[in-house]
Structure formats: C-alpha cells, structure tokens
Amino acid sequence: MSALRSHAFNLLFYGLTTLLCVGLLWTLALPRAVMMAVIRQYLKTIAWLERVVLGLDYEVRGRDRLPGGPFILAAKHQSAWETMKLHLLVDDPAPVLKRELLSIPIWGWYARKADVIPVDRGARSKAIQGMVKTARRVSGDGRPIVIFPQGTRVAPGTWRPYRIGVFAMYEQLGLPVVPMALNSGVFWGRRALRKYSGHITVEFLEPIPPGLGRTEFLGRLERDLEGASDRLVRQVGGPPTIRPADAPPLGAAQPGRPAAG
C-alpha cells in the first residue's frame, strides 16, 4: 500500500507540476507579488496531495522565534520537500540557489521573476560578493533570505562541512540568523522516487544575533542546527549523524564554493 501511495502521488505531483508550469506562463507578465500568490496556491495544493494521497503531513515549531524584520534563515537541506515549503513557512523568502538553475527552461523563468539570489559557484570569492550584494538589496525590501549552510542536500545520517557563504552574509549584512531544523529526508529521499507516509517536523531555533566572530558563529550554527535536526531525525526512526573524527573543528568553515542549494 505504501508503494502504491507513493506511485500515485508521483504521478499527480509531476503531472500537475508539468501542466501548471506551462499553463501559468501568463503570470510572468503580472507583477511579482501576483505571480507569487498564484505559486503559493500551487504549493498549498501539493501539500494537500502529500497529506491526502501520500499520507505525509507536517508541523512547524518555533514560529514565535522569527524576528519581525529581515533575517537570514539558515535551513537544513535534506530533500526537495523543504524547497517547496519555504513560501508557506516564511513570508516572501529569497532563497540562495545555483545560477545554472535559472537556465532551466520555464522553471528558470519563474525563478528569475521570483527574484531569488543566484550564485555562480565557479567564481569563488566573486560569487560571495555577488551573493551578498543581491542579498543586501533583497533584505532592504524586508524579505527574509534563505541559505543552506552546507551548500547542497545532505541525507539524514550523513555529515557535510558548513560553507563560508553563510558567515559572509551574516557578517556583511548584520542580520540575525535563524537556524531551521527538520527531518524531511527520512520520508522524502535526496534522490529517491519512493516517498513515505509519516509526519515531518520543521523547527525554527533561537536566532543567532549579529556581531559574533567567524569561529563562534559557525560553531554555534553547526552545533544548534545539527543537534536539533539529528534529534528530529532520530525521533522518527532515522539514522543519527556521526561527526567524523577527522572533521575540522566546529567553526572551521570549508573554503571554496559558497552555500547554495
């Protein structure tokens, strides 16, 4: 029965998404706010299909911890599930993503209209400078910025280092950072078509105030975000994450590409 529900959901999910990507092209000619309102309705429909067809629902904890003004949301990234929930979790977010995704026909057009924060990960330091410049403009409009500190999807039970991009944005924008823990990868695999029924939990943690140094900030972010996500994963039967003995110390971000999902 579980496999049947997953198969039925995939058919509806991919079919509806393909149909609407083409059918809603006319919204690209409308103001961004109007297009995003239509997109949110699509995302709510997908969430309804998850609940009714797949038997997968979710809860959100810690909404009262979200700041009133602009902030940086440092989100754990385990699957595609959370990328489809960002606009239902916070108001008008601006996610950081790989610039090459904007070149995808049709999907990329919507992403450009949504005014996301693209990153050219091959440009190294210039990529970070460009990311921060765009993020500063976006935060000036009062929008929260979403960044995945590990730079990619990481399956439950797998350890990956944190990238320098999240600290660069934190330091230069002077905004609080809210870690967002979750356990979505237990039910919606990183690259698996099979999806499972269950209950996903998203938890906003205590904000990290501006002004901390690199080591202190990155150490706190990794400790809080990994600890909370590991707790949520284990609560639903997922594997614990074991930090390798040869991993760099907490707060030692990996150089190279900035964080982008």
Q: Pick the closest to residue 237 from 206, 205, 196 (CA basis).
A: 196
Question: What band does 244 get if pLDDT is binned at 50, 70 and 90?
Answer: confident
Express as a percent the part of the chain with pLDDT over 90. Answer: 79
| The pLDDT of residue 218 | 95
| The pLDDT of residue 255 | 56
| The pLDDT of residue 192 | 83
Q: Where are the domains of the chain?
A: 57-235
- Under CATH, which architecture does the 57-235 domain have? 3-Layer(aba) Sandwich (3.40)
First to last CA, the chain: 33
| The pLDDT of residue 22 | 95
**Interior angle at CA 121, CA 119 and CA 126, nearest 5:** 75
Look at residue 251 and tell me whether its pLDDT is greater than 90: no
Look at residue 52 and tell me whether its pLDDT is greater than 80: yes
Average of per-residue pLDDT across 123-142: 86
Residue 86's alpha-carbon distances to 45, 111, 112, 150, in angstroms, are: 14, 14, 16, 17
| The pLDDT of residue 206 | 98
Average of per-residue pLDDT across 17-22: 95
Q: pLDDT digit string (tens) for 173-215?
A: 999 999 999 999 999 988 888 999 999 999 999 999 999 999 9
Look at residue 48 and tell me whether its pLDDT is greater than 80: yes
Look at residue 123 and tell me whether its pLDDT is greater than 70: no
Average of per-residue pLDDT across 86-98: 95
* DSSP strand pairing (177-182 vs 198-204): antiparallel
Q: pLDDT digit string (tens) for 139-186?
A: 999 999 999 999 899 999 999 999 989 999 999 999 999 999 999 999
